[in-house]
């Protein structure tokens, strides 16, 4: 069973400037809850029991959000605002934090979680990818594939061709329905992407990924790229991919942030 997850949230969020200079993109509101709240709820609903947030010095608002406000709770109790107390509850899950001193890439951020994970398979959820599904969760779709094959799994999604340069893109062989064997992955291909299947911020890894992250050198953008470690690991271990079902929004793109809010609106009425 997958019980631990890493949520990297230390990036600068440059695509969201200027607001991300003071408000982390992970706290952008989807309805009345911040985006990262939905991601934590997804982890909890998928059986995750412990989460490690990778944050930066400028992301203290994230730690504040998942902390209790005793002053606010006392005020609401005094006012007998029980419905607001319920609304203010944070997900009931064990959370730890570690700071990434420098923004050296997603691979570097995940490597900081090595001691937290230990020798267990684990999940990674990127908080700027929000997935809504009435029947299951995005992460749970990956976990089911992992439980069957015991191999690392990448969450995939069909993306329009002109957007593929923003993602890692896979070359794969279809096995059955949404499941495929991943042959290789290219980080943000400028031209000639190997497919229209992008990796969209949901992963399940065997712990061996850490040894590959420790060995690779900086790649695209002079950062430690998770995709480079995955390609190296593929030389000795099969990787699977599953095309995630459900509605997915990349909130780092303004139009998808707006679309996510439009999508959630009927459920709030």
Of 107-116, 143-152, 171-180, 259-268, the least confident: 259-268
Exposure letters 149-186 (e unless 16+ CB within 10 A, then b): eebbbbbbbebeeeebeebbbbebeeeeeebbbbbebb
Domains of the chain: which residue ranges?
Answer: 4-268
Distance between CA atoms of 92 and 22, rounded to whole angstroms?
27
Mean pLDDT along residues 83-103: 85
Task: Indicate the helix (H) or strand (E) that contains 60.
Answer: helix 60-65
Q: Give the mean model confidence (pLDDT) for residues 128-136.
A: 91
Q: For domain 4-268, give the CATH superfamily.
A: Spore Coat Polysaccharide Biosynthesis Protein SpsA; Chain A (3.90.550.10)
Using pLDDT thresholds of 50, 70 and 90, give the confidence band for residue 267.
low
Averaged pLDDT of the chain: 90
Q: Is residue 269 scored above 60 in pLDDT? A: no
């Amino acid at each position: 069973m997958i019980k631990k997850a890493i949520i990297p949230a230390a990036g600068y969020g440059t695509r969201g400037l200027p607001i991300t200079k003071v408000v982390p993109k992970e706290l952008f509101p989807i309805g009345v809850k911040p985006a990262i709240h939905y991601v934590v709820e997804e982890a909890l609903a998928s059986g995750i029991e412990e989460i490690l947030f990778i944050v930066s010095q400028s992301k203290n608002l994230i730690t504040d959000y998942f902390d209790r406000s005793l002053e606010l709770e006392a005020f609401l109790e005094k006012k007998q605002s029980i419905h607001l107390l319920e609304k203010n509850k944070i997900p009931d899950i064990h959370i730890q934090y570690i700071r990434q001193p420098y923004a050296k890439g997603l691979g570097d951020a995940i490597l900081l979680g090595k001691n937290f994970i230990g020798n267990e398979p684990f999940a990674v959820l990127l908080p700027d990818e929000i997935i809504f599904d009435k029947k299951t969760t995005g992460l749970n779709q990956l976990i089911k594939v992992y439980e069957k094959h015991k191999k690392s799994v990448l969450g995939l999604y069909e993306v329009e061709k002109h957007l593929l340069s923003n993602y890692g893109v896979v070359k794969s062989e279809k096995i059955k329905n949404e499941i495929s064997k991943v042959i290789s992955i290219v980080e943000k291909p400028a031209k000639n992407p190997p497919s229209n299947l992008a990796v969209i911020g949901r992963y399940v890894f065997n712990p061996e990924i850490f040894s590959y992250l420790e060995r690779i050198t900086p790649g695209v953008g002079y950062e430690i790229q998770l995709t480079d470690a995955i390609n190296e690991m593929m030389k000795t271990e099969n990787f699977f991919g599953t095309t995630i079902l459900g509605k997915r929004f990349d909130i780092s793109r303004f139009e998808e942030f707006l679309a996510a809010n439009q999508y959630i609106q009927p459920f709030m009425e």
